[in-house]
Copies of this chain bind each other. A is one copy, B any other.
Amino acid sequence: MHLESVSWTDVDDVETALAMVPVGSTEQHGPHAPLGTDTLNAETVAESAAERFDGPIIVSPAVPVGVAEEHRQFSGTLWTSESTFRAYVRDIVGSLAFHGFDRIVLVNGHGGNIASLREVAATITRNDDAYAVPFTWFEAVGEHSSRMGHGGPLETSLLQHATPGTVHEHRLDDAAAKGGDQWGDWEHGVNLAFESAEFTENGVVGDPREASAALGEELLDAASDALVSLLETVSERNMEALSQW
């Protein structure tokens, strides 16, 4: 049940403790993919999981701007500070919990959000009468996860499958040519770079020419099945034990 399209009376009739908050970003994804890639993909995965899940579940609107200052050298990228991002997510989860939707999965589409989502989920779980965990779709696609770049084969494929028309196919060669090979500039376990422009000329990491709608479908299957499974676990997890101490 997508909150934005139902009335409060519809929500009032639902019996569930489960909710999902899609979390995206508006940031460069190379010359071929839209700035909204992370939001679109997070929404896609959340929607697919909601359909596959056996039972009612609340889906909030997506958080559209996240932790993305590292992409600021590429035009159109929007960002918020980490602390504001965490506060915004915490408030949204808090209002869901106020209504009794207190088992929440933050369905994330952006690598830059991961650390902050983990931090705020811990804060919520310890202090706010709710249990929240972040799920990042491209970390739950099995062996494909290792191919995650930025605007690379995984993200591009999911767009091609789920939101066709959003990818500029004719720019893929260019995207690949000036992209980087690896996320970050590493030495001895340390990423020396704080800006993506330090290691990619056009914002891409990975080769988006390896993307396909077929792969996208496969990724969506994997990610949404994983998410469904996670939702069941989150729904049933015994939180009493946590409060024992």
Question: A215 near B: Cβ within 8 Å?
Answer: no
- The range of chain A's interface size is 35 or more
B residues near A173, Cβ cutoff 8 Å: none
Chain A 1-26 against B: per-residue CB contact (8 Å), 1 yes, 0 no? 00111111111100000000000001
CB-based nearest B residue for A193: B242
CB-based nearest B residue for A28: B8
Partner of A82, one of B32, B63, B119, B230: B119
Whether B26 pairs with A7 at a CB distance below 8 angstroms is no
**8 residue pairs, one from A and one from B, having the closest CB atoms:** A4-B36, A11-B76, A139-B189, A8-B28, A61-B64, A188-B226, A80-B91, A115-B115
- List the interface of chain A (C-beta within 8 A of B): 3-12, 26, 28-36, 39-40, 58, 60-65, 69-70, 72-84, 87-88, 91-92, 95-96, 98-99, 115-116, 118-119, 121-122, 125-126, 133-136, 139-140, 145, 166, 168, 171, 187-192, 194-195, 197-198, 202-203, 226-227, 229-230, 233-234, 237, 241-242, 245
